[in-house]
Amino acid sequence: MDRVWRTSAKFLIVDDQEYNISLLNRILRRTGFENLRSTTDPGELMNLFEQERPDMILLDLHMPGIDGFTLLKQLGTRIVRGEFLPIVVLTADVTAEAKAEALHLGAHDFVTKPLDKLEVVLRIDNLLKTRYYHLQLQEQNHLLEERIGERTAELEHAKHEILELLGRTSEYRDDETGQHTQRVGRMAYELAKELGLPEEESRLIRQATPLHDIGKIGIPDSILLKPGRFTPEEMEQMKKHTVIGASILEGSVFAVLQLAGTIAETHHEKWNGMGYPKGLQREEIPLAGRIVALADFYDALTNERPYKRAWTREEALAEIEVQRGQHFDPDVVDAFMRIMGREEEAG
């Protein structure tokens, strides 16, 4: 045991007999202990305990007024759960009943009266070593938890960065800034919150959304970058980016990538069942897919692409109203319009 810690260990002694306290003080000081507090009034124990936060308590069992059993009960409500604070009972009562009750109430060891110096020193020394090692273990566990927390934060940051990079990759050929995926992600998050989804679920949608068009990496440039309208054959080829994206993300054990796969596959489904790739309708379409469908639609309309001009905000909002109950879930449209209304009032 570290010598500095041993000599600085704090003791609290409670005994109604001044002679016993004096004897214990002499024994402990000659052994090298210096931080000793004591009282002959058992009623002072709780206040002294809070003031000193001792490393060991030496407690007489039979005292007038408040006995040691009552004090053990009181201490049990003050000692932090999981903390090892040794309590040594000082007693001439060596009956099995007294020992059993004291141990049940939280005592760790006994020193019989009249006090024997060797017995006192050995029992105290062993218990102090146990407390010292317990505190060391707690400190090591705390440091380990901090390191695990730091490592977890690093991994979480790396995961978010990888998701952003993947999302940017999927957009790079027709949106070199890669901002479309981030804008859609932010809007999807706001919509999820507006619809009353929990913060954790809303954040998951925010993280997964940038991968909604990752399947575009499987679409030829001749189609993806074509100005103007697609031919029916080209449109069918373009639609495949949903199943390609779902296939790329399939089989992941991570919730965010599982959700990203769902969004990639369903963000072009329509409320009326006329979307693709499966023609799902109404609540058959996962909520995340319904949310991203609108967020993606609005951002695509209001930003220029190789095949179209940018629509005005007013034009886009009018079109979304037209598509209420057709392309889009009416509840999602309502949430979107509330967000747009607040933004207009604020700006």
Is the pLDDT score of 86 beyond 50? yes
- Residue 347 tokens read as 């700006």
Question: Residue 238 carries which side chain, given as an amino acid letter?
Answer: M
Query: Which whole number is the average pLDDT over 213-228?
Result: 80
Give domain status of residue 153, yes or no: no
Cα atoms in the 13 Å half-sphere on the side-chain side of 106:
24
pLDDT confidence band for 141 (50 / 70 / 90): confident
Residues 308, 238, single domain; the answer is yes
Could you give the CA distance from residue 299 to residue 125 in angstroms, rounded to a whole number? 72
Mean predicted lDDT score pLDDT of the chain: 87
Query: Which whole number is the average pLDDT over 279-303?
Result: 93
- Ramachandran category for residue 29: left, alpha or beta (phi over 0 → left; psi -120 to 50 → alpha): alpha
Q: What is the CATH number of the domain that holds 128?
A: 3.40.50.2300
**Which pLDDT belongs to residue 158?**
74
Residues 186, 244, single domain; the answer is yes
Is the pLDDT score of 187 beyond 80? yes
Residues 9, 111, single domain; the answer is yes
Is the pLDDT score of 176 beyond 60? no
Helices (H), 9-116: 18-31, 45-52, 68-78, 96-104
**Beta strands at 10-14 and 87-91: parallel, antiparallel or unpaired:** unpaired
**Which pLDDT belongs to residue 2?**
63
Is the pLDDT score of 319 beyond 70? yes
Query: Which whole number is the average pLDDT over 85-109?
Result: 88
Give domain status of residue 124, yes or no: yes
Is the pLDDT score of 7 beyond 80? no
pTM of the model: 0.59
Residues 234, 342, single domain; the answer is yes
Is the pLDDT score of 205 beyond 50? yes
Q: What are phi and psi of 338, to 5 degrees?
A: -65, -40
Segment 223-279, tens digit of pLDDT: 777 777 788 888 888 899 999 989 988 888 888 889 999 999 999 999 999 999 999
**Which pLDDT belongs to residue 177?**
46
Structural domain containing residue 273: 172-346
How are strands ordered across the β-sheet holding 109-112? 35-39, 10-14, 56-60, 87-91, 109-112
Query: Which whole number is the average pLDDT over 181-186?
Result: 88
DSSP string, 149-182: HHHHHHHHHHHHHHHHHHHHHHHTTT-TT-HHHH
Residues 125, 197, single domain; the answer is no
Domain boundary (118, 138, 158) is at 138
Give the range among 59-73, 174-188, 280-294 with minimum mean pLDDT: 174-188
For tokens 């031919």, the residue is: 231
Residues 99, 203, single domain; the answer is no
Give domain status of residue 13, yes or no: yes
Residues 236, 102, single domain; the answer is no
Q: Collapsing DSSP states into helix, strand and coil, what is residue 217?
A: helix
Query: By percentage, how much of the chain surpasses pLDDT 70?
Result: 93
Residues 126, 176, single domain; the answer is no
Residues 180, 307, single domain; the answer is yes
Residue scoring higher pLDDT (4 or 86): 86
Domain boundary (92, 120, 138) is at 138
Q: What is the CATH number of the domain that holds 264?
A: 1.10.3210.10
Residues 23, 93, single domain; the answer is yes
Residues 203, 92, single domain; the answer is no
Domain count, the chain: 2
Residues 127, 209, single domain; the answer is no
Distance (Å) of CA 170 to CA 256, 261, 263, 290: 17, 14, 14, 20
Give domain status of residue 146, yes or no: no
Give domain status of residue 134, yes or no: yes
